[in-house]
Structure 1
Amino acid sequence: MVLSNAVKPRSTTILVDLGGIFMHPQVENKLEARDSTLSLRRIMSTSVWMSYECGRLSEQECFAKLAEEYHFQASDLAEMILKLRKTITYDQAVASSFKEVKRTGTRIFLVSNISKEDYAALRESWDDDFWSIFDGVFTSSALGVRKPSLRFYRHVLRVTRAVPHQTFFVDDRPENVLAALSVGMRGTFETAKLYSTLTNFIGDPVARGLAFLRRQKGVFPTTTQHNETIAENYAPLLILEVSLVNLKCPPRLWNFFSGDPKYTSDTYPEDLDTTSLGLLTIPLDPAIVHSILDEMHDYIDEDGNVQAYFDHSRPRVDAVISLNVLTLFHKYGRSHELPGTMEWIYSILLNRAYINGTRYYPNAEWFLYYMTRLLGVSSDLTLKERFEPPLRTRVAERVGANGDAFCLGMRVLACNYLGIENHPDRQKLVDMQLEDGGWEASCMYLFPGAKREVGNRGTSSAFAVKALEDWAER
């Protein structure tokens, strides 16, 4: 082991393997045995080679034992290993990524199953620029034990004084990563997006997310899965509710589209959903709001449920829209005027009718998150006593379920409101953060007729930041 002096515990530590990460040796090279050929990979997986990597056998003893057991010439193996040592190079791009990580003050230690002879050859042939990446090196030959033995990990944690849950382990072998996770570390064997993974581990997700949102200066385009842009108001209103965005407020009713309508008729009516969100986010004079609530009464169907549009020729009912409108009525003390909608929403909650999403909203989290908004806005104690217990149960059921970034943001926000611990989804949300600090444009709502899925990076990012920020403040 090589370790810098006066090691002090820091907030984050990375332990990284050598083979499969920094170097990619040709282990499929073949040796001629008595009746067949034998790959170097197979040789390196034998108990004899493992004893060699732990320093229990010399190089000569190892080669001789393997030659005897597998019926090849020991000199052939020695020649193959010598050639490998002379030609092996390290991955410059991967090394550069770890240098960037090191500049943040994160400690990085190399942890490798390697013989003392192979390690000595690498130290001699690779430049100091590579070795300067590491605050220390732990090898199986120096410790006398190999990964995935738990003794290896516990020794490294003890000597480096690293805190397991603040330590990230990188190795190309799943069994080695599993062992690291079992002692409390985090880790991965997926190397395709390694720099992004490490950045998410060492960075502050909230600070990075806020920086992304500020760089956009309030401009967050909404796009379909085909990268078609839509000028609309709903996503900006959602962003404004939890963060910052540039938005022009209409004098009275809101329309989903802020520009030309797409995937629908050329003339698109104002709708109760966007209007409710707009009035909840940017309040108008109460007299105007009450006049709008009066008008909404003209768009209640025979079941007592509110319609989606201020247009009788478009009779549409959507549970999430109804819940949004109900929230507006609660905010202005008029919830008693929508008893049919209230009962329908309650039955949807009890019977999990929201589980597959709705006509316009594709996942369960829309309904559950909007339900927490209703409870947060309402001053009706009877409503809270009735709705909160089943809502708590339903939200807890969703912990750990599949979901994209926007979905997880809403789920974590709902859990935060209800005081439900949800570390798994919070961690998944952190892991989804992109290198620029934002999150991907997840599917938010649907244009069912045109088969369009609509997302917005700003909305996903704003909800993720708010969810993580609220969680940290709990």
Structure 2
Amino acid sequence: MTPQLKNASRYTNIIFDLGDVLFTWSASAPRSPVPADIILKILRSFHWMEYEKGNLEEAEVYSLVAKEFSVTSEDVKAAFQAARDSLQANPQMLDVIRQLKEAGLKIYAMSNISAPDWAVLSTKAADEDWELFSRTFTSAAAGERKPNIGFFEKVIEKARIDPSSTIFVDDKLENVLTARSFGMHGIIFRDQSKVIKELKNLCFDPVGRGQEYLVSHKQNFSSVTSNGLTIDENFAQLLILEATGDKNMVDYAKSSSHFNFFKSSTVPSNSRESFPNDMDTTSIGLTVTDHVDLASKLAVMDEMLKYRNSDGIIQVYFDHSRPRIDPVVCVNVLTLFYSNGRGQELFETLNWVEKILVNRAYISGTYYYHGADQFLFFLSRLIQASSYVQQRLGPVFKERIVERFGIEADSLSLAGRIIAAAAVNIEDKRDLETLLSMQSEDGSWGDGWFYRYASSGILIKNDGVSTALALKAIQLVNSTP
């Protein structure tokens, strides 16, 4: 499937360098009689630059550089012939260019290359590969070379391109710098995978790519721990369900009363420790699923009220031997209660959550949750569930959200931050731009650590959650008046 361009993409043209970007060669080819370090020095010499601009003939430049670097002209000629023989196309980059071309972008090539070298290079790819380029510009034909401004001016004029709608890809910083000085978006080609990721994120529709990722992985969104273990748990599935609204997307253990974090109550990885049902997963499950009737929900809520500590704050587990409390868990239980008209029964818990918010106690995360933005994300769900809570906490919540804008974070935290801002009608475009740049090549958003095993500090992430929340964040910002 050909990816679609962004609806609001500013880019219509891409200019690629050829050498070391779309084609690779070896300065230390086996048959080369000149050492690789000398070859590289020759390529940076004044004489070679003049040769690339067409100001010197091939035999003439071989003679001049041979004299300058104390080698014979015959050896120089043989060395560069060996280098030419080593030239080969980069199929992965050509495949990406094909996708960009099919999506509607105009593709150009711009290379510092002599006429003889261009004659050889033009035979190193199939005709259909060269047809991907609307036009190829060489220094030999232009009489100019990168990074000279004159070469760029000629390309802009002859291709009739708008620099502000153009991406420029080159392996040399000085060339990219000149391109940027014209207003182009410059990409330095150092890590091919990062370049491909950036090109796709700049040009292709992030929502379509993200949705394609979710569909291709539906009912297969396992969580992963920071020490490399895979776990099957319900909490992530429920969050994906809420974000997507698609019951066919997820696979969780249904319950008519209590929910457990794990699909089975035993922790994987050969651990004998079992975890009791928890208020957190149960509250999310009873809030976002539609298979539990109201009477069953109310009965579970009655039981939850029995698990409050001496301060009246709701606990994490349905287990009196584990009197642990966590602000995010409190928020999720409050959301369940307020959604069912019973929020006033947990006023001590709401009072504590308010103190957490006012005094920024969440700034380093909570006992079970990794970061500050997770607390604000879940609190935004509570604010949306209750006009009373919105009136009471809304003003300070807005302050706390805005002060997070621009703070470096992973994709999950940024998505949660943007969603939380949208819940109180604030548009976080600054973090959205960063989030868009973090989309992976496969269309997902990864590396978003969400919660943790409190006793060990091991973190847990789920790329399905990160992707679903990122898509929701994008859609919320795009739909905000």
Q: Which range moved further: 236-245 or 447-456?
A: 447-456
Mark the CA change 1:37 to 1:274 in structure 2 (over 3 Å): closer, same or farther. Answer: closer
Alignment-mate amino acid for residue 53 of structure 2: C
Deviation of 1:161 (Å) = 4.7
The answer on whether the counterparts of 1:434 and 1:440 sit within 8 Å (CA) in structure 2 is: no
| Partner in structure 2 of residue 203 of structure 1 | 204
The answer to whether the aligner puts 1:453 opposite 2:459 as a matched pair is yes
Structure 2: any 5+ residue segments left out of the alignment?
1-8
Alignment-mate amino acid for residue 314 of structure 1: R
The answer on whether the counterparts of 2:435 and 2:470 sit within 8 Å (CA) in structure 1 is: no
Query: 1:371-390 deviations in whole A, cap 9, x for unaligned?
Result: 22222222125325432332
Alignment-mate amino acid for residue 121 of structure 1: V
Mark the CA change 1:258 to 1:79 in structure 2 (over 3 Å): closer, same or farther. Answer: closer
Deviation of 1:17 (Å) = 1.3
Determine the C-alpha separation between the residues in 2 that align with 1:390 and 1:100: 43
Determine the C-alpha separation between the residues in 1 that align with 2:394 and 2:365: 25
Determine the C-alpha separation between the residues in 2 that align with 1:68 and 1:400: 56
Instruction: Give the TM-score normalised by structure 1.
Output: 0.83
Determine the C-alpha separation between the residues in 1 that align with 2:359 and 2:55: 64
The answer to whether the aligner puts 1:355 opposite 2:353 as a matched pair is no
Residue of 303, 317, 324 corresponding to 1:295: 303
Deviation of 1:315 (Å) = 0.9
| Partner in structure 1 of residue 88 of structure 2 | 89
| Partner in structure 2 of residue 114 of structure 1 | 113
Structure 2 residue matching 1:361: 3-state secondary structure = coil
| Partner in structure 2 of residue 250 of structure 1 | 255
The answer on whether the counterparts of 1:224 and 1:453 sit within 8 Å (CA) in structure 2 is: yes
Residue of 377, 389, 401 corresponding to 2:398: 389
Taking the TM superposition and a 5 Å limit, the aligned residue runs for 1:309-458 are 309-380=317-388, 381-396=390-405, 399-403=406-410, 405-417=411-423, 418-423=425-430, 425-435=432-442, 437-440=443-446, 442-449=448-455, 452-458=458-464
Determine the C-alpha separation between the residues in 1 that align with 2:428 and 2:243: 21
Instruction: Give the TM-score normalised by structure 2.
Output: 0.82
Query: 1:361-404 deviations in whole A, cap 9, x for unaligned?
Result: 112221121222222222125325432332233331xx25031x
Q: Which range moved further: 274-283 or 316-325?
A: 274-283
Determine the C-alpha separation between the residues in 2 that align with 1:335 and 1:286: 16
Matched positions, count: 459
| Partner in structure 1 of residue 135 of structure 2 | 136
| Partner in structure 1 of residue 313 of structure 2 | 305
Deviation of 1:238 (Å) = 0.3
Alignment-mate amino acid for residue 410 of structure 1: G
| Partner in structure 1 of residue 5 of structure 2 | none
| Partner in structure 2 of residue 235 of structure 1 | 236
Determine the C-alpha separation between the residues in 2 that align with 1:77 and 1:55: 18
Taking the TM superposition and a 5 Å limit, the aligned residue runs for 1:188-199 are 188-193=188-193, 194-199=195-200
The answer to whether the aligner puts 1:274 opposite 2:281 as a matched pair is yes
Structure 2 residue matching 1:306: 3-state secondary structure = coil
Determine the C-alpha separation between the residues in 2 that align with 1:179 and 1:173: 10
Mark the CA change 1:158 to 1:408 in structure 2 (over 3 Å): closer, same or farther. Answer: farther
The answer on whether the counterparts of 1:10 and 1:162 sit within 8 Å (CA) in structure 2 is: no
The answer on whether the counterparts of 1:330 and 1:379 sit within 8 Å (CA) in structure 2 is: no
| Partner in structure 2 of residue 4 of structure 1 | none
Alignment-mate amino acid for residue 22 of structure 1: L
Alignment-mate amino acid for residue 308 of structure 2: I
Determine the C-alpha separation between the residues in 2 that align with 1:433 and 1:109: 25
Deviation of 1:334 (Å) = 4.1
Determine the C-alpha separation between the residues in 2 that align with 1:413 and 1:154: 44
Deviation of 1:311 (Å) = 1.4
Mark the CA change 1:385 to 1:130 in structure 2 (over 3 Å): closer, same or farther. Answer: closer
Deviation of 1:137 (Å) = 0.7
The answer on whether the counterparts of 1:181 and 1:187 sit within 8 Å (CA) in structure 2 is: no
The answer on whether the counterparts of 1:444 and 1:453 sit within 8 Å (CA) in structure 2 is: yes
Alignment-mate amino acid for residue 239 of structure 2: L
Determine the C-alpha separation between the residues in 2 that align with 1:113 and 1:295: 75
How many percent of aligned residue pairs carry the same amino acid? 33
Taking the TM superposition and a 5 Å limit, the aligned residue runs for 1:49-68 are 49-59=48-58, 62-67=61-66
Deviation of 1:314 (Å) = 0.5
Q: Which range moved further: 287-296 or 266-275?
A: 287-296
Determine the C-alpha separation between the residues in 2 that align with 1:84 and 1:171: 20
Structure 2 residue matching 1:258: 3-state secondary structure = coil
| Partner in structure 1 of residue 6 of structure 2 | none
Query: 1:401-456 deviations in whole A, cap 9, x for unaligned?
Result: 031x3333323323444523334554444543232x33446432212335543332
Deviation of 1:316 (Å) = 0.7
Determine the C-alpha separation between the residues in 2 that align with 1:332 and 1:97: 51
Mark the CA change 1:99 to 1:393 in structure 2 (over 3 Å): closer, same or farther. Answer: closer
Structure 2 residue matching 1:370: 3-state secondary structure = helix
Determine the C-alpha separation between the residues in 1 that align with 2:456 and 2:219: 28
The answer on whether the counterparts of 2:168 and 2:184 sit within 8 Å (CA) in structure 1 is: no
Alignment-mate amino acid for residue 97 of structure 2: F
Determine the C-alpha separation between the residues in 2 that align with 1:458 and 1:116: 51
The answer on whether the counterparts of 2:401 and 2:417 sit within 8 Å (CA) in structure 1 is: no
Alignment-mate amino acid for residue 118 of structure 1: D
Mark the CA change 1:337 to 1:87 in structure 2 (over 3 Å): closer, same or farther. Answer: closer
Mark the CA change 1:431 to 1:375 in structure 2 (over 3 Å): closer, same or farther. Answer: same
| Partner in structure 1 of residue 222 of structure 2 | 221
CA root-mean-square deviation: 3.4
Deviation of 1:335 (Å) = 3.9
Alignment-mate amino acid for residue 203 of structure 1: F
